Amino acid sequence: MRRNAFRHALLVAAALLAAAPAARADWAVLRNGQRLHVTGYERRGSDVVLRLAGGEATLPASAVLRFEPEDIFTAAAPAPAQGPYGAIVAKAASQNGLDRNLLSSVIRAESDFHSRAVSPKGALGLMQLMPATARSLAVRNPFNPGENVQAGARYLKELLGKFGTVNLALAAYNAGPGNVSLYGGVPPFRETRDYIARVRRDMKKKTGPAPSSGLVKMVCSPFEPRCREESPTTAEASSFNQR
């Protein structure tokens, strides 16, 4: 009976996918080898509900191996900073030992280079410093581009020193250091994973394609406490480089 219900759920999921338009989604990797595009998922007891572009499908949790974001991120190599405030970014990056492209891409993701940006949560300026963070970094005017970027660069440097990798530092910048420590890695928040992807994509625009050995993908599962980094297969790396 359980097997028939599982088979029926797979047929429903396939029908919904066929009827739905293409959309940004993640992969649900099943034990039987199938891969389904999902826009979200939720654990309900012994089942997992897959949210598809055309509806929902419920499967036994044991049928799902893992969830993989569509994006494969590239490790960026140093290159000249681009975009507005280039001199300010270059100076702050140099003084704090940061990759100029990383700092520039964080600003792009945070405020799109709007120096007077204010978020709904109260984050301020180019690097969207929260008021408490700005005070701890002795920022007098968070809307001053030089002061904001210098403080944001110092904070990003602290996060890199604390967590050791760019992905974890970006996750902490977006979701807070407490959440990274709580989950022992990149928190399984869609917003945070998308934020890391945006920064990585912007860095790739500045640096160009990286060699296959520099590719990393994020793998997230509702049954594991945190996301993890994995090297993609040769086929995945080849597919990414051909995009």
DSSP codes of every residue in 196-224: HHHHHHHHHHHH-PPPGGGEEEEEB-TTS
Q: What percent of the chain has pLDDT over 70?
A: 67
What is the per-residue pLDDT across 68-114, written as a single tens digit (0 to 9) for each?
765 444 444 444 445 679 999 999 999 999 999 999 999 999 999 99
Asked whether residue 141 falls in the same domain as residue 184, the answer is: yes
The confidence score (pLDDT) of residue 186 equals 92
CATH label of the domain that carries residue 176: 1.10.530.10
CATH label of the domain that carries residue 29: 2.30.30
The confidence score (pLDDT) of residue 162 equals 93
Asked whether residue 112 falls in the same domain as residue 34, the answer is: no
Asked whether residue 175 falls in the same domain as residue 57, the answer is: no
Whether residue 158 lies in the annotated active site: no
Contact indicator for 142, 125 with CB cutoff of 8 Å: yes
Asked whether residue 47 falls in the same domain as residue 130, the answer is: no
Q: Nearest to residue 158, comparing CAs of 168, 169, 167?
A: 169
Q: Which of 41, 70, 99 is the last residue of a domain?
A: 70
What's the mean pLDDT in 155-183?
94
| Domain tally, the chain | 2
Starting at the edge strand found earlier in the chain, the sheet holding 215-219 runs: 72-74, 215-219, 228-230
- Does a structural domain hold residue 219? no
Catalytic residue among 42, 110, 191, 224: 110
The confidence score (pLDDT) of residue 240 equals 37
Alpha-carbon distance values, 86 to 53, 69, 176, 225 (Å): 40, 32, 27, 39
* Rounded distance between C-alpha atoms, residue 145 and residue 101, angstroms: 17
What is the per-residue pLDDT across 171-186, written as a single tens digit (0 to 9) for each?
999 999 999 999 999 9
Tokens of 9: 């759920």
